[in-house]
Amino acid sequence: MKDTDKAKERKGSWLGSLVGMLFGERVSKISILEEEQVQSPFRTMVKEFFRRKLTIVGLIGFFTMLLASTILPFFFPIDLRDQDAGQVNQGPSMNMMRIPRSIRGDIAMLAAGAGFGVGVTHDDTIHVWGTVSVISEPLLNPPQPGRPIRHVSAGPYHAVVVTEDGHVYSWGNNNATFDIHSIPAQIQGRVVTAEAGMRITVAVTDDGQLHSWGGVALNRRDMAAIGRVPRDETAVQIESNILTFGVLTEEGNVHVLIQTPRGIRDVPDEIQGRVVDFAMSDSIGVAVLNDGTLVPWGDPTATALINIPEELQGRAVAIDAGRDHFTVLLNDGSVASWGDNVQGRTNAPTVTNAVAISVASDHNYVMLADGSVSTWGLRGFIMGTDGFGRCVFTRLWSGGRYTLLIGMVAVLIQGILGLLLGGLAGFYGGKIDTLIMRFGEAVGSLPFLPLAVILQFRFRHVFHGRPVAGMMFLMAVLGFLTWPGLMRLVRAQIMQARESEYVLAARALGVRQFKIIFRHIMPNVMSAAIVLLTLALAGSMLTETTLSFLGFGVSEPTPTWGNMLTGSNNSIVLRDQWWRWVFPAISLVTVAISINLIGDGLREATDPKSQGR
């Protein structure tokens, strides 16, 4: 019985200790003074550091943000040149291609827009889904003509439908500058097809002529050029990209408008008269010939687009284009995509019964013979987009990497200077101490933020277009202007420690003075220095953010948390586009608070008085 009781007692003690660790009960069997007698001071400091729950929270918060900023950019790489006018100020969402359940299997025709889709069901009802920017919210409220619909087209900011009796209906973003709904009265009842582009619409009437209305994407001279399709040809199809429109005629010829890069304007003469379909990305045009061959033209440097997979040749039926990719419908009912595979926009599904495709920006739709729709590509932006259509999620973690790097390197410079100069001043004293202290006082008396702004402004032209050099300069400025405080702390600690017995013993043994400072004395003052440097890391990050917010830090397009907040300093963004400032602000505050919690834990763990010892 006694052995059983002892076993139960041991088991209860073990369970009690485990419960105590999990739920915060302190089940220490010995006092802190007894503990210090059986373990080293360093182990005691470490144990006291991890005893505080807020310190653990700070460690978890800091290392979570550090790992996310280090690892995620490898899985979500940033392209500093990437901008998308069609995705400007999109809110956080993952439903850009989420077709409403109520109309799945009942869609007769559809059109892909930038972040949204338009579908017409068999009862000629118009439906819109997806996510649009604040300025394009009217897109979500389509008109209902109440008559049979022949064609539908979606642009970045507006959409149009053409009815069977030749009338055009337009809806979406509209203002005094871009009057995209002023449809010419003389063409109503005569329109065969229409294309919604970037704030402009081009329509083909029953006489094969082109008509345009809308904003300033094309000037008057270019609008006049729209009508310059040869009079002996009849326009039957219109395609657009972000810059211009292209026209396919009944005679199999393609004509591209004047306002466009020369590469995409110069359609190869050898394909004229043989084109059955064509599409244009931002830099490349591709035509489907009457024998199923695909022929590209345009910017020769866009190799991902201009190098068409050989297995697609001779099989193409129809084609459509996004920003940097193409999708083609093949003669066996399958589909294929090629180009830049960002956002998975070329991951075409395996289907055998496709009948139509629609592509825009980073989105792909394919209608199947059974009435269903398959989609692939950009589903949405988990943290929305900014004023240039750039993904906030991608820029947030890349910006965190730069913000943390700037803070850490600045603290490293500050630490090296502070420890070195403080160690020399405290140990040698005399003229060396006086010289170092006067120099430190001179640097410390400088107004830090105004001086940092002046230096950045004075040399910013030197680093224009060189973001890495600009970041290195900012690190150096932060490091070289913030070391005096650490230097004074180290000097005071060393002046106190240099009269200790172990220092006198080292001198008596003939140990060199430099070795005494940095091998014997410095480890004893490092705990206080580490606390100060930990808190300085948060200060350096906040300073970088302040400089970038003021426009004197790291310049666009290289992201940091500071310059991500720069574009949010107006009432419209604060009110309507909260995601542009909330996520970088939360990240910055999380890291700053976590570092301060770690610093508080270090201070209490290294201070015997805080533990009553």
What are the pLDDT digits (tens) for 445-480?
888 778 777 777 777 666 666 666 667 777 888 888
Phi then psi dihedrals of residue 426, to 5 deg = -70, -35
More confident residue, 358 or 235: 358
More confident residue, 545 or 320: 320
Average pLDDT over residues 383-409: 89
DSSP lists the bridge partners of residue 172 as 158
CA distance 211 to 203: 5
CATH code, residues 93-237? 2.130.10.30
190: pLDDT strictly greater than 90: yes
Nearest to 127 by CA among 148, 143, 105: 143
Let me know: does 56 contact 361? Beta carbons within 8 Å.
no
The pLDDT score that the predictor gives to residue 607 is: 62
282: pLDDT strictly greater than 70: yes
∠464-468-474 over CA atoms, to 5°? 85
Instruction: Give the highest mean pLDDT range of 4-18, 205-219, 553-567.
Output: 553-567
22: pLDDT strictly greater than 50: no
CA distance 420 to 557: 37
Nearest to 148 by CA among 126, 163, 127: 163
Handedness of CA 133, 138, 141, 147 (dihedral sign): negative
228: pLDDT strictly greater than 80: no
pLDDT band at 214 (very low <50, low <70, confident <90, very high): confident
Write down the domain spans for the chain.
40-74+392-611, 93-237
How many Cα atoms sit within 13 Å of 162 on the Cβ side?
Answer: 23
C-alpha dihedral (454, 456, 459, 461), degrees to nearest 10: -120
What is the Rg, in whole angstroms, of the alpha carbon atoms belonging to the chain?
34
pLDDT band at 18 (very low <50, low <70, confident <90, very high): very low
Average pLDDT over residues 494-506: 77
Tell me whether strands 335-339 and 354-360 are parallel, antiparallel or unpaired.
unpaired
Average pLDDT over residues 311-327: 94
Instruction: Give the highest mean pLDDT range of 244-258, 261-275, 284-298.
Output: 284-298
Tell me whether strands 245-249 and 235-240 are parallel, antiparallel or unpaired.
antiparallel
User: Could you tell me what percent of the chain has a pLDDT over 90?
Assistant: 33
pLDDT band at 565 (very low <50, low <70, confident <90, very high): confident
The pLDDT score that the predictor gives to residue 609 is: 54
Judged by phi (left if over 0) then psi (alpha if -120 to 50, else beta), residue 138 lies in alpha
- Of 228-242, 349-363, 415-429, 513-527, the one with minimum mean pLDDT is 513-527
CATH of 40-74+392-611, one of 1.10.3720.10, 1.50.10.10, 1.20.120.80, 1.10.630.10: 1.10.3720.10
1: pLDDT strictly greater than 60: no
- Of 9-13, 187-191, 355-359, 410-414, the one with minimum mean pLDDT is 9-13
Please provide the average confidence, as pLDDT, over all residues in the chain.
Answer: 82
CA distance 555 to 562: 10
Average pLDDT over residues 530-555: 78
CA distance 598 to 46: 12
The pLDDT score that the predictor gives to residue 21 is: 45
Question: Over the stretch 570-592, which tens digit does the pLDDT of each residue have?
Answer: 778 888 889 999 999 999 899 98
Average pLDDT over residues 254-271: 79
Question: Over the stretch 94-117, which tens digit does the pLDDT of each residue have?
Answer: 999 999 999 988 999 999 998 899
The pLDDT score that the predictor gives to residue 224 is: 47
The pLDDT score that the predictor gives to residue 16 is: 52
The pLDDT score that the predictor gives to residue 287 is: 96
pLDDT band at 178 (very low <50, low <70, confident <90, very high): low
3-state percent helix, strand, coil for the chain, nearest multiple of 5: 45, 20, 35
The pLDDT score that the predictor gives to residue 223 is: 47
CA 313 to chain centre: 37
pLDDT band at 220 (very low <50, low <70, confident <90, very high): very low
pLDDT band at 11 (very low <50, low <70, confident <90, very high): very low
311: pLDDT strictly greater than 80: yes
The pLDDT score that the predictor gives to residue 217 is: 44
275: pLDDT strictly greater than 80: yes
28: pLDDT strictly greater than 80: no
Let me know: does 336 contact 354? Beta carbons within 8 Å.
no
151: pLDDT strictly greater than 80: yes
403: pLDDT strictly greater than 60: yes
- Say yes or no: do domains 40-74+392-611 and 93-237 share a fold: no
CA distance 370 to 131: 27
The pLDDT score that the predictor gives to residue 354 is: 94
User: Could you tell me what percent of the chain has a pLDDT over 70?
Assistant: 85
